[in-house]
């Protein structure tokens, strides 16, 4: 099934996976599901991510409207990231994948 939007046809499955593709975006959304986190907190929480990759993933998630970024004009500067309502809509799907993965991993061990 394809949906026509602004002169292009989109497959909804492709559209959704492009928003959370990559190694870190799903985890970032998962960690933001219940709380507001600062850059440093995300860096500590998302294991194995480099500062460059974290910055890139956060920018892409913000561009896609899945998270919001709030900058406080303080010294030192403070930036907080929050999941948007659009991003919250992905949480049940991410949770379903988590449950699926737990089952597969449990069977293989």
Q: How far is 30 from 27, CA to CA, in rounded Å?
A: 5
pLDDT at 14 over 90: no
Q: How far is 44 from 89, CA to CA, in rounded Å?
A: 25
Map out the domains of the chain as residue ranges. Answer: 13-108
CATH code of the region 13-108: 1.10.10.10
Residues 49-84 have pLDDT tens digits of 999 999 999 999 999 999 999 999 988 889 999 999
pTM of the model: 0.85
């Amino acid at each position: 099934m394809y949906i026509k939007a602004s002169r292009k046809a989109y497959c909804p499955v492709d559209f959704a996976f492009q928003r959370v593709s990559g190694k870190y975006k799903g985890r970032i959304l998962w960690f933001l599901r219940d709380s507001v986190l600062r850059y440093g907190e995300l860096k500590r929480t998302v294991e194995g991510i480099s500062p460059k990759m974290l910055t890139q993933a956060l920018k892409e998630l913000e561009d896609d409207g899945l998270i919001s970024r709030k900058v406080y004009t303080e010294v030192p500067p403070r930036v907080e990231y929050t999941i948007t309502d659009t991003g919250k809509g992905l949480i049940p799907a991410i949770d379903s994948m988590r449950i699926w993965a737990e089952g597969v991993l449990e069977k293989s061990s």
